[in-house]
Every structure is written in structure tokens, then in C-alpha cells.
């Protein structure tokens, strides 16, 4: 019986850990005015009859803080890569010399930085909602276990406190991750 409540607690921790990792990945994609190959994560290219992730079709290099160089393994897909980058709305226009694609990352304006900070806050809040959803589901399971007689009332209160502590821990982590990203965005 206590094993079941332990499973609920370990499941909620695992679920919230996944949310924490996802927020990191999402915020990693937010442009900071510096060149990063992470800007290209999630871009798929129509090549060889299917939609293929860009990172499977090319090497990326960041020779300086304002430039990303994409070197396709097969030059035959260079125009498809260029089209996919344009369609991805990352806000950077590619230049193609037939061998490589260059992406010049423009410096961010103050207004754009403020917009990006709002976006960071929105992403963080969406993930905190996911953490609260995981908490709600776990608390419902614990309450159900008490109702069915599988968990004494004292154990339910102890489990609820553990779940709340885990929720607070992961909300703090998300706040820290978002604050770090905001700091990166605001750096000139």
C-alpha cells in the first residue's frame, strides 16, 4: 500500500523532471542575438522523398557569434534546406553559395529583446501549468487510494506534502531556467 503511494510520488517526480527538461529545450530555441546551432533544431527538410531533420542532412559551424554555416552532406539538397529555413520563421535569411548556406544572425533591437523576454515568460508559465497538472493528477490518485482504503489518512497527508514539495522544487527550477534565459536575451 505504501509502495503504491511511493510509486505515485516517483511518477510525479519523473513527470515534472520531463517538464523541466522540455522547458530547457524550448528556451534553448529562443534567439539571444548570438549564433547557435540550436536555432535550427526542429527544422525539417523535404529531401529524398520524406521530411528529414536538418541536422541529419548537414554539419553546422559557428565561426563567430553572428554567423552559422551549414554544410550539407549532399549539395543536391541545398535549395531544399534554404527553403525550409525560410519557411521556419526563425527570422534569418539564408545566403547560399552553392556549397554552404550562411546565416548571418542580426543583432537584436531593444524592442525585440523585450518581446523575447515576454516569450520566455510565456513558455515558462506554460510549463509551470504542466507541473501543476502533474500535481493535480497525483493528488487525485492519492485521494482515490485513501477512498478505496489502500492508504491511511495520515499517509495521504504525508504524500500530499511530498507532492507539494516536489511541485515547489520544479517550479523553482523552471523560474531559474527562465531567469537565466532572460539574462542571456537582455545581454547586449
Distances (CA, A) of 128 to 88, 181, 183: 27, 16, 19
Same structural domain, 182 and 113: yes
Do 146 and 156 form a contact (C-beta atoms < 8 A)?
A: yes
Do 125 and 171 form a contact (C-beta atoms < 8 A)?
A: no
On whether the pTM is more than 0.75, the answer is no
Same structural domain, 124 and 155: yes
Residues 3-25 have pLDDT tens digits of: 787 888 999 999 999 999 999 98
Same structural domain, 80 and 116: no
Range of the domain at 137: 2-29+109-186
Angle at the Cα of 91 from the Cα atoms of 38 and 118, rounded to 5 degrees: 80
Q: Answer with the one of 49, 73, 104 that is the final residue of a domain.
A: 104
How many independent structural domains does the chain possess?
2
Residues 43-54 have pLDDT tens digits of: 899 988 889 888
The CATH number given to whatever domain includes residue 134 is 1.10.132.20
Residues 126-174 have pLDDT tens digits of: 999 999 999 999 999 999 998 888 888 888 899 999 999 999 999 999 9
Amino acid at each position: 500500500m505504501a509502495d503504491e503511494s511511493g510509486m505515485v510520488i516517483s511518477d510525479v517526480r519523473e513527470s515534472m523532471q520531463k517538464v523541466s527538461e522540455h522547458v530547457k529545450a524550448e528556451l534553448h530555441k529562443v534567439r539571444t542575438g548570438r549564433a547557435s546551432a540550436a536555432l535550427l533544431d526542429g527544422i525539417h527538410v523535404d529531401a529524398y522523398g520524406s521530411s528529414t531533420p536538418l541536422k541529419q542532412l548537414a554539419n553546422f559551424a559557428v565561426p563567430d557569434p553572428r554567423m552559422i554555416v551549414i554544410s550539407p552532406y549532399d549539395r543536391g539538397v541545398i535549395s531544399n534546406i534554404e527553403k525550409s529555413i525560410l519557411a521556419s520563421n526563425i527570422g534569418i535569411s539564408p545566403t547560399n553559395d552553392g556549397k554552404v548556406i550562411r546565416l548571418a544572425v542580426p543583432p537584436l533591437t531593444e524592442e525585440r529583446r523585450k518581446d523575447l523576454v515576454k516569450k520566455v515568460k510565456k513558455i515558462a508559465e506554460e510549463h509551470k501549468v504542466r507541473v501543476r497538472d502533474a500535481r493535480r493528477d497525483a493528488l487525485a490518485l492519492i485521494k482515490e487510494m485513501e477512498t478505496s482504503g489502500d492508504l491511511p489518512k495520515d499517509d495521504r497527508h504525508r504524500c500530499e506534502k511530498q507532492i507539494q514539495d516536489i511541485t515547489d522544487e520544479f517550479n523553482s527550477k523552471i523560474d531559474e531556467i527562465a531567469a537565466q534565459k532572460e539574462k542571456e536575451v537582455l545581454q547586449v
